[in-house]
Amino acid sequence: MEKVAFLGLGAMGYPMAGHLAKRFPTLVWNRTFEKALKHQAEFGSEAVPLEKVAEAGILFTCLPTTKEVVEVAEALLPHLRPGTYWVDATSGEPEASRRLAERLGEKGVIYLDAPVSGGTVGAEKGTLTVMMGGPEEAVERVKPYLAYAGKVVHVGPVGAGHAVKAINNALLAVNLWAAGEGLVALVRQGVSAEKALEVINASSGRSNATETLIPQRVLTRAFPKTFALGLLVKDLGIAMGVLEGGKDPSPLLRLTRELYEMAKRELSPEADHVEALKLLERWAGVEIR
């Protein structure tokens, strides 16, 4: 059975690596090594120093940005073996990932960008959607090892996975903010947000924001920390790069990026992305409830 390695045990990576460890011999590494030792104790993976992950035939990375992936790759380069597959679940930057694929290719390592969608709940349940960029035969080769996935879609060449992920998250941001604006207006009209959502979610205005995020996090005032506002703003920045590359008209997505940049400044990069609606509530002087 192929040995795998998982690098980056954050909110998403920790449970994702757990699913791998249940099915394959799994090496784990994290900058904060205590996290790797905790994972080893919980899931039976093997916590190892960085250079030892090169023993695996398939390497998974799930790091904050492409910059960290490149840093890890450069450190590992002397140790990597030809024929290794590198599956990058980071929400990364398409052009930088294409350059990294070339760099790793010089060593005979096949790089695939494979960001995920579904949040921490999907990571824990093993139901994440994976959007993969890279050669068809490489995608087919690693598919059986995506133990954390409920759905895998090969979306195009290297970089395409990151592009799809960035645009998907831009649409998340649009839907969340637009729903917030609409609900603020309805609350002002004397409609309870709960009743408004009951109608919207049985009608054409529904979205993941109205069906899940706002009922579970805003109406309850729980605002759990699952996906940092700063990371969503990073993804919006990547989406802007995708838009620039095609010179396509995109006034709404560009405005949305500005709104979330403001929310990040006013709240904090560590705030949950749904807390952006707190800024909207502050501006309006009403709560969505």
Residue 109: DSSP 8-state: P
Q: Is 269 helix (H, G, I), strand (E, B) or coil?
A: coil
Residue 224 backbone class (left: φ over 0; alpha: ψ -120 to 50; beta: rest): beta
Active-site annotation, residues: 165
CA pseudo-torsion sign 31, 261, 16, 152: negative
Q: Which two tokens stand for residue 256?
A: 């949305």
Q: Which residues contact 38 (CB under 8 A, 6 or more apart)?
A: none
Q: Which two tokens stand for residue 255?
A: 């405005």
Q: Which two tokens stand for residue 285?
A: 């002087």
Q: Which two tokens stand for residue 161?
A: 């996975």
CB 94 within 8 A of CB 159: yes
Q: Please spell the DSSP secondary structure of 145-210, one letter per residue.
A: G-TTEEEEEEEESTTHHHHHHHHHHHHHHHHHHHHHHHHHHHHHTT--HHHHHHHHTTSTT--HII
At 143, phi and psi to the nearest 5? -50, -45
Rounded (10°) CA dihedral 93, 96, 97, 98? 130
Cα separation, 8 vs 175, in Å, equals 29
The number of CA neighbours under 13 Å toward the Cβ of 241 is 18
Which run of H or E residues covers position 26?
strand 26-29
